[in-house]
Structure 1
Amino acid sequence: MYHPVHCNSCSCKRAMAVSCVDCYRPCRPGCTNQTCGVVAENPLVSTVTVGVSLGEDVVAVPSIIDGSSPAALAFILRFPITCGATYLLEGLPKGVNGILGLARTETALHTTHIQLIAHKFALCMPSSTAAKGVMIFGNGPYIFSPTHDDLPKSLMYTPLLVNPVSTSPVYSEAGPFVEHFIGVNPSESMALPSP
Structure 2
Amino acid sequence: MSEAALRDEIARLAKSLFDRGYSVGSAANISVRLDDGYLITPTNSCLGFLDPERISRLDRDGNHVGGDKPSKEVFLHRAFYETRAEAGAVVHLHSTYATALSCLADTDPEDCVPPLTPYVVMRVGRVPLVRYFRPGDARGGDLIRALDGRHAAVLLANHGPVVSGKDLTSAVYAAEELEETAKLLVILRGQPVRMLDAAQVAELKATFG
Larger Rg: 1
Q: Could you state the TM-score of these two structures normalised by the residue count of structure 2?
A: 0.28
Instruction: Decide which structure has greater helix share.
Output: 2
Q: Could you state the TM-score of these two structures normalised by the residue count of structure 1?
A: 0.29
